Amino acid sequence: MSKKRNLYLNTIPVEEARAKYLEAVREKITVRHEVIKVTDSLNRITAKAVYARYSSPLFNASAMDGIAVRAADTDNASETSPVTLTEEQYLVVDTGDPIHPPYDAVIMAEDIVETEEGVRITASANSWQHIRTVGEDIVAGEMILPGGHRIRAIDVGVLLSAGILEIEVVRRPEVAIFPTGTEIIEPEDEPEEGSIIESNSRMFENMVTDAGGIGHRFPPIIDDYEQIKAKVSEAVRNYDMVIINAGSSAGTEDYTVHVLRELGEVLVHGVAIKPGKPVILALVNDKPVIGLPGYPVSAYIGFENFVEPVIQMMSGSSGKSHESVQAHISRRLVSSLKHKEYVRVKVGKVGDKFVAAPLARGAGAAMSLVRADGFCVIEQNSEGVEAGDIVDIELYRSKSEIENTVVVIGSHDLILDVMADIMPTRYSSMFVSSTHVGSMGGLMALKRGEAHMSPIHLLEEETGEYNVPYLKRMFSEPMALIKGVQRIQGIMVKKGNPLGITGLADLAAENVRYVNRQRGAGTRVLFDYRLKQLGIPEKSINGYDREMATHMAVAAAVASDGADAGMGVLSAAKAMDLDFIPVGPEEYDFALPRKYLELPHIKAFIDILGSREFAERVEKLGGYGLEHTGEVVII
């Protein structure tokens, strides 16, 4: 074996690693300040307390439209004996006009009657009534904002009213970001096999912005010790912080840790966190230098846990807090005592409880971060949680958005994407979230109260009827079915059908690599049913045990030559430019408890299913029938 590895990373607990590093960083850095215009200061952090230069109001001012008077002149006025003030005794004032001695009160315009002799009043005025006195709002010399405060729109207004034109704020730290790796390419390059499109650095750049810093992304460096060393040495002279991605692990080409050991001090290499273990926390030239792992989810979690607190320390910001919510976890999650684990979850509000459904746990699954609504954090000292347990979820979508989201769990179809797309544009602040676990999995989730509805396509073998028999059999509570689409199931094969497959019988041939759907998927039920009809034994299918979770995943496996054939719907075959051998039509509908039909977001969902826009979008996907779409069947 020719390549050299460095298999051992120390793994210390997250909190310990962070505390150790932040303490070391705090000793080295100085938070720097700059003076900027108040009009440019939105979201900046004050460096120190700001005191008012002027009072507000600047002078005694009328708080009303009306007349300024001497209170003493009005003492005897009442309903029964009105007093008439002559022109010398009052002054017409608008709101904000200055009030001078001898006037010491204001009477509202509504409370006076103009007469030929002057102005008649029917009540006495207390001295200083309806007058805003000097400094009533702000007193010169008073503190307006403390240090460490994030400046808001209202603060800008008040600062200017108080005569403050410039303000001392914390300088935003400048962060150099270096992507590394011989195999990575820029997003604009044409990818070849083996290439990885470099995108973490762009994610970091934006995360730096969110954290209060300024990100500077550099072109990728190849995996070369000297080149990495040269770039880092230069960057620690010109920037406040450096991020290197990736090469932070212990692989044969992971030079980062060796470079940082030569240039400075590595305080931590390897943290007990999953995903995200291979983190490097170092100081070079008194500047924080952090190596983050290459998998997008690891990179994200590493950034949140280690880079963000450093930037916050340097930017004086107290950090954004994630909203959190208590939710019932839908599946058992086993986690090791070896690490703290961040499990991405989708969160929904079904009935009166929040439910959290775990997503893919792989570190490479960046899309799972996009799809997720938050993290379920399993502490290092915990072995996991049981299904139904109440857990704390750190949200990164707002709670109100989640409360207005239709939670869909069940069989996958591309029309779910179309629904998710149309919903928020047609109904402001309403959303569709879908998780793909197959038809039976969906119905089980519905039974457990984890979803509003389940898209299903389940054939009853005896009657040939779709969906309705399953609902009657499985549920005791009153149910309904929202009719979805008719769609064509078939065999997806490579463009041009090189193996000449004509039907299910051909799948039993030795040279055909099949890829299957998971147990409980409607497509799997159909496949098994047809195999039985044709008398084809499961084990004659090469790849029967290789299961994938969606039509698109099957289509992608076929398109990429990972397999020769798989069963799925026409729209998936079309999307991946595959040939398609039809097997038969089926009904893809939405099952739900009848009580949810009255919810506003469910009503919106039904409305969109029946809309012209939906019909046109589905038409383009191809292979769908819309005869009864949007109709509600009471079971």
Residue pointed to by tokens 């938050």: 374
* C-beta pairs of 192-201 under 8 Å, 24+ apart in sequence: 199/296, 200/245, 200/246, 200/292, 200/294, 200/296, 200/299, 201/177, 201/245
Closer by beta carbon to a copy of itself, 366 or else 509: 366
Name the β-bridge partners of 488: 585
Among 84, 111, 128, 382, which residue interacts with a copy of itself (rule: CB under 8 A)?
A: 128
Return the range that interacts with a copy of itself (CB under 8 A); candidates 191-199, 235-243, 282-290, 523-531. Answer: 191-199
Strands 431-436 and 405-410, sheet pairing? parallel
Closer by beta carbon to a copy of itself, 446 or else 488: 488
Binding residues for a copy of itself, rule CB under 8 A, total: 134
Return the range that interacts with a copy of itself (CB under 8 A); candidates 94-102, 437-445, 498-506, 580-588. Answer: 94-102
Counting contacts by CB under 8 A, is residue 560 touching a copy of itself? yes
* Total length of the chain: 635
Counting contacts by CB under 8 A, is residue 58 touching a copy of itself? yes
The C-alpha angle with vertex 175 and arms to 174 and 176, in degrees rounded to 5, equals 125
Among 109, 499, 508, 633, which residue interacts with a copy of itself (rule: CB under 8 A)?
A: 109
Return the range that interacts with a copy of itself (CB under 8 A); candidates 138-146, 227-235, 457-465, 625-633. Answer: 138-146
Q: Does residue 516 contact residue 613 with C-beta atoms inside 8 Å? A: no
Closer by beta carbon to a copy of itself, 311 or else 458: 311
Site for a copy of itself in 451-510 (CB under 8 A): none
DSSP class of 291: E
Q: At what angle do helices 200-211 and 308-315 cross, to 10 degrees?
A: 40
Q: Does residue 17 contact residue 282 with C-beta atoms inside 8 Å? A: no
Helices (H), 100-164: 153-161
Structure tokens at 457: 């396509």
Among 11, 55, 74, 516, which residue interacts with a copy of itself (rule: CB under 8 A)?
A: 55
Q: At what angle do helices 415-426 and 612-621 cross, to 10 degrees?
A: 150
Structure tokens at 101: 């001695």
Calpha distance 173→30 (Å, rounded): 11
Among 9, 25, 105, 144, which residue interacts with a copy of itself (rule: CB under 8 A)?
A: 144
Counting contacts by CB under 8 A, is residue 634 touching a copy of itself? no
Closer by beta carbon to a copy of itself, 284 or else 418: 418
Q: Does residue 244 contact residue 289 with C-beta atoms inside 8 Å? A: yes
Structure tokens at 407: 């939670």
Pick from 213, 304, 225: nearest CA to 262:
225
What DSSP string describes 226-266?
HHHHHHHHHHHHH-SEEEEES--SSSTT--HHHHHHHHSEE
Least separation in angstroms between residue 100's CB and a copy of itself is: 9
Among 82, 384, 449, 562, which residue interacts with a copy of itself (rule: CB under 8 A)?
A: 562
Among 86, 398, 502, 533, which residue interacts with a copy of itself (rule: CB under 8 A)?
A: 398
Calpha distance 525→207 (Å, rounded): 44
Counting contacts by CB under 8 A, is residue 200 touching a copy of itself? yes
Least separation in angstroms between residue 159's CB and a copy of itself is: 8
Calpha distance 481→501 (Å, rounded): 36
DSSP reduced 3-state for 548: strand
Closer by beta carbon to a copy of itself, 344 or else 457: 344
Return the range that interacts with a copy of itself (CB under 8 A); candidates 106-114, 226-234, 441-449, 523-531. Answer: 106-114
Counting contacts by CB under 8 A, is residue 140 touching a copy of itself? yes
Return the range that interacts with a copy of itself (CB under 8 A); candidates 72-80, 93-101, 228-236, 334-342. Answer: 93-101
Counting contacts by CB under 8 A, is residue 30 touching a copy of itself? no
Calpha distance 484→626 (Å, rounded): 8
Site for a copy of itself in 306-335 (CB under 8 A): 312-313, 316, 318-321, 323
Site for a copy of itself in 419-448 (CB under 8 A): 420-425, 428-429, 431
Least separation in angstroms between residue 244's CB and a copy of itself is: 17
Closer by beta carbon to a copy of itself, 199 or else 382: 199
Calpha distance 288→280 (Å, rounded): 11
Least separation in angstroms between residue 591's CB and a copy of itself is: 23
Closer by beta carbon to a copy of itself, 264 or else 296: 296
Least separation in angstroms between residue 11's CB and a copy of itself is: 14
DSSP reduced 3-state for 412: coil
Closer by beta carbon to a copy of itself, 57 or else 522: 57
Counting contacts by CB under 8 A, is residue 449 touching a copy of itself? no
* Residue 621: its H or E element: helix 612-621
Closer by beta carbon to a copy of itself, 82 or else 98: 98
Could you give the C-alpha distances from 40 to 151, 156, 168, 209, in angstroms and in order? 10, 9, 12, 16
Counting contacts by CB under 8 A, is residue 1 touching a copy of itself? yes
Could you give the C-alpha distances from 308 to 58, 209, 290, 314, in angstroms and in order? 43, 10, 11, 10
Counting contacts by CB under 8 A, is residue 56 touching a copy of itself? yes
Among 157, 219, 351, 584, which residue interacts with a copy of itself (rule: CB under 8 A)?
A: 157
Counting contacts by CB under 8 A, is residue 618 touching a copy of itself? no
Site for a copy of itself in 575-594 (CB under 8 A): 575-576
Among 16, 210, 265, 383, which residue interacts with a copy of itself (rule: CB under 8 A)?
A: 210
Least separation in angstroms between residue 219's CB and a copy of itself is: 13
Among 27, 79, 88, 114, which residue interacts with a copy of itself (rule: CB under 8 A)?
A: 114
Pick from 382, 396, 307, 302: nearest CA to 346:
396
Among 97, 174, 389, 460, which residue interacts with a copy of itself (rule: CB under 8 A)?
A: 97
Structure tokens at 60: 């005694």
Pick from 368, 232, 214: nearest CA to 295:
368
Among 187, 464, 500, 535, which residue interacts with a copy of itself (rule: CB under 8 A)?
A: 187
Least separation in angstroms between residue 62's CB and a copy of itself is: 11
The greatest distance separating any two alpha carbons of the chain, rounded to the nearest whole angstrom, comes to 113
- The letter for the amino acid at 586 is E
Counting contacts by CB under 8 A, is residue 42 touching a copy of itself? yes
Pattern 361-380, binding to a copy of itself, x per CB under 8 A?
A: -x-xxxxxxx----------
Name the β-bridge partners of 625: 486
Pick from 445, 454, 446, 521: nearest CA to 481:
454
Counting contacts by CB under 8 A, is residue 290 touching a copy of itself? no
Pick from 383, 324, 335: nearest CA to 361:
335
Closer by beta carbon to a copy of itself, 363 or else 391: 363
Site for a copy of itself in 223-282 (CB under 8 A): 249-253
Closer by beta carbon to a copy of itself, 137 or else 528: 137
